């Protein structure tokens, strides 16, 4: 039994890719992204929200980077972490300014009168949550990529 | 007739506590780093079991989302540990 594990370890060390891990993460990553979207979309009524959703999504990308390398992770993300971070900050600031434009104090929550089927109420707090989600996703993936590229 | 709450209180919780203590002994004694990493990983799964039993016993399904997040994240921690243990061995 021990010899078997030694052989597996040697095989892994030769091509640095575990077949089990890379197969698992290809199924697990879409599920994690879906769950993070679910957490984001119900965050203003129940536990969840932009921060938790962003952390779950970035954990999925971190697992992908461990299993298949950083290059392929950058390829499937398509957008640079920096772009995600700055656009998230812009969306967050804009959601606060929308109340100022309609003559109310900064960051007052504005809600649509009708509910959209499938989601609950939609308003500026949802936009704020989306911004936080993008900021957390961009920041954590940027940290992980730069730490893994260091050596 | 035994209800599900009695089953959880008299069987599930004590067995979880006993396995938690056994894993604690393994983490303290553990000859190598890999033993301790596996001990921490299984401790995460015992925490998941605890939260599930708690949410059934006190009838609060909100906690089940925490279980999903914890299951995903503890897997990540173990994978990262394995990656760095392997890297450290390579450098020697």
- Domain spans of chain A, in order of start: 2-149
Report the complex ipTM: 0.73
Distance from CA of B89 to the nearest CA of A (A): 10
Burial A58-97 (b: 16+ CB within 10 A, else e): bbbbbbbbbbbeeeebbeebeeebeebbeebeebbeebbe
DSSP letter for A136, please. Answer: H
B66 touches chain A (CB under 8 A): yes
Average pLDDT for B34-47: 91
Cα dist from A82 to A77, A78, B40, B84, whole Å: 12, 12, 34, 26
pLDDT tens digits for range A71-116: 889 999 899 999 999 999 999 999 989 888 888 888 888 888 777 7
B74 contacts B41 by C-beta, under 8 angstroms: yes
Instruction: Give the integer Cα–Cα distance in Å for B16 and A56.
Output: 27
Distance from CA of A85 to the nearest CA of B (A): 22
pLDDT at B85: 82
Looking at the predicted structure, is the pLDDT value of residue B39 above 70? yes
Instruction: Give the integer Cα–Cα distance in Å for B54 and B74.
Output: 19
pLDDT tens digits for range B51-89: 999 999 999 888 888 888 888 788 788 888 888 887 777
Structure tokens at A147: 């730490």
Burial of A21 (0-12, 13-18, 19+ CB in 10 A): buried
Give the number of residues written for chain B.
92
pLDDT tens digits for range A35-52: 999 888 887 777 778 898
Residues 6+ apart with CB under 8 A from B43: B20, B23, B24, B27
Of B62, B72, B87, which is closest to A59 when you measure between CB atoms? B72
């Amino acid at each position: 039994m021990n010899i078997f594990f030694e052989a597996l370890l040697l095989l892994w060390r030769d091509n640095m890719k575990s077949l089990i891990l890379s197969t698992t993460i290809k199924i697990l990553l879409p599920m994690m992204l879906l769950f993070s979207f679910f957490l984001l979309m119900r965050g203003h009524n129940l536990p969840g929200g932009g921060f938790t959703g962003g952390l779950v999504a970035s954990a999925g990308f971190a697992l992908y980077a461990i299993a298949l390398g950083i290059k392929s992770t950058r390829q499937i993300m398509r957008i640079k972490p920096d772009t995600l971070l700055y656009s998230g900050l812009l969306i967050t600031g804009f959601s606060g300014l929308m109340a100022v434009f309609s003559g109310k104090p900064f960051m007052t929550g504005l809600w649509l009168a009708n509910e959209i089927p499938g989601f609950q109420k939609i308003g500026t707090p949802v936009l704020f949550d989306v911004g936080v989600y993008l900021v957390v996703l961009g920041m954590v993936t940027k940290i992980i990529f730069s730490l893994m590229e260091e050596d | 007739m035994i209800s599900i709450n009695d089953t959880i209180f008299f069987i599930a919780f004590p067995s979880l506590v006993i396995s938690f203590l056994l894993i604690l002994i393994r983490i303290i004694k553990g000859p190598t780093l890999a033993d301790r990493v596996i001990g921490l990983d299984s401790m995460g799964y015992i925490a998941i079991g605890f939260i599930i039993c708690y949410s059934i016993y006190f009838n609060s399904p909100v906690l089940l989302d925490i279980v999903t997040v914890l299951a995903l994240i503890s897997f990540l921690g173990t994978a990262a540990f394995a990656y760095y243990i392997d890297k450290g061995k390579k450098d020697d």
